[in-house]
Amino acid sequence: MLEHFIQLDKQLLVFLNSLGSERFDGLWLIITKQAYWTPIFLYVFYLLYKKLGWKHMLLVILSLALLIAFTDQMTNLVKNSVQRLRPCNDPETKDIIRLVKQSSSFSYFSGHAANSLASTTFIVLILRKYYKYAFLFFLFPLIFAYSRIYLGLHFPGDILSGYIFGMGTGYLFSKIYEVYRKKYFPDSL
């Protein structure tokens, strides 16, 4: 049964990866780097600051730092335990997909997907109280993680598993954050 899912995962990768075009490779190489998303991150911090103030923002930043550190370490633990080869290194896929970028680390599960969805879930759970369209920030992890499939660095199953882990972690950390928020900022919504 597991082998069947792995084969479906590889077939889906080949299909999604083949939708790419050399003309757009540069764009997807930009999309996959967190540094290029800095203006959006700064905008999110501005929105948080505007509603929460500096002192409360420190709690958010500390929570985010712990969330990302935890998610990143768990991702590395799973990757080094499972040791699934990336599509660019997998003997069954490397010669039939478009390889835009190479990496020698393991594939399962996607740290890009896990970290981006964990932090977005955490942020949206805070911002939704103040902004009706906060859910639109979920476009970030969708586009960000798809770049990994486009570039030939992750299988769709790696992305989906990273999303599931990230969403759970983001939700868990939002609950922990709420405990401390109520303790140190009882007057805030």
At residue 26, does pLDDT exceed 60?
A: yes
Could you give the number of structural domains in the chain?
1
- Whether residue 179 is contained in a domain is answered as yes
Q: What is the pLDDT of residue 189?
A: 55
Lookup result for tokens 């997998």: 90
- Whether residue 28 is contained in a domain is answered as no
Task: Collect contacts of 14-21 with beta carbons under 8 A, ≥24 apart.
Answer: 14/93, 14/96, 14/97, 16/146, 16/149, 16/150, 16/156, 17/87, 17/97, 17/98, 17/149, 17/150, 17/152, 18/97, 18/98, 19/150, 20/98, 20/100, 20/150
pLDDT digits (tens, 9 = 90+) for 100-118: 999 999 999 999 999 999 9
- Whether residue 153 is contained in a domain is answered as yes
Q: Quote the mean pLDDT of the chain.
A: 93
| Position 63 confidence tier, pLDDT thresholds 50, 70, 90 | very high
Residue 47 burial class via C-beta count within 10 angstroms: exposed 0-12, middle 13-18, buried 19 and up: middle
At residue 25, does pLDDT exceed 60?
A: yes
Nearest of 49, 160, 173, 159 to residue 120 by alpha carbon: 173
- Whether residue 20 is contained in a domain is answered as no
Q: Which domain holds residue 108?
A: 38-184
Whole-prediction pTM: 0.91
- Whether residue 24 is contained in a domain is answered as no
- Whether residue 120 is contained in a domain is answered as yes
pLDDT digits (tens, 9 = 90+) for 149-189: 999 999 999 999 999 999 999 999 999 999 999 888 777 65
